[in-house]
Amino acid sequence: MVKYKNNLKLLKQLDWKLIATLLIIFAYGIIILSSATHANQTGNYSRLIKQTLAFVLGLGLIALILLFDYNVIGKYYKELYIVSVVLLVIVFIPGIGKNRGGAMSTLSFGPLDLQKAELVKFTFILSYAKLVELK
């Protein structure tokens, strides 16, 4: 029962105006993408579906992250920092790194591309905050 109360407390603390703004921006983006790709005329909705799936996946990831206490993740800041450094170097392995705009900035896993910078941003901030906290 305690866990249920914590989840209700978490729901009450959410910024619902921010969530509504996010949904409005997403809907506007889908309308613009539909117009730019002429999806209504061509019947090709693949980009719209891909964008919607990415949005839903992102929302799910946000919901999952909200369930974790960042202090628990903070205990592993050294390991996360090492993983980040490895991700920054691994793009130079042929077949894994993908050249985008003249920079080896993405990791390619078949149809999925991972921009390692997004994960590195999080782990750098977490590691730096933990180092400052310890001093």
Read off the pLDDT of residues 62-121 as tens digits, 9 standing for 90 and up.
888 777 777 788 888 889 899 888 888 887 777 666 666 666 667 766 677 677 788 888
Calpha distance 132→135 (Å, rounded)? 5
User: What confidence category does residue 1 fall into, taking pLDDT thresholds of 50, 70 and 90?
Assistant: very low
| Surface-to-core class of residue 123, CB atoms within 10 Å of its CB (0-12 exposed, 13-18 middle, 19+ buried) | buried
pTM of the full predicted structure? 0.57
Calpha distance 47→39 (Å, rounded)? 9
Judge whether residue 4 has pLDDT over 80: no
CB 31 within 8 A of CB 52: no
**pLDDT given at position 7:** 65
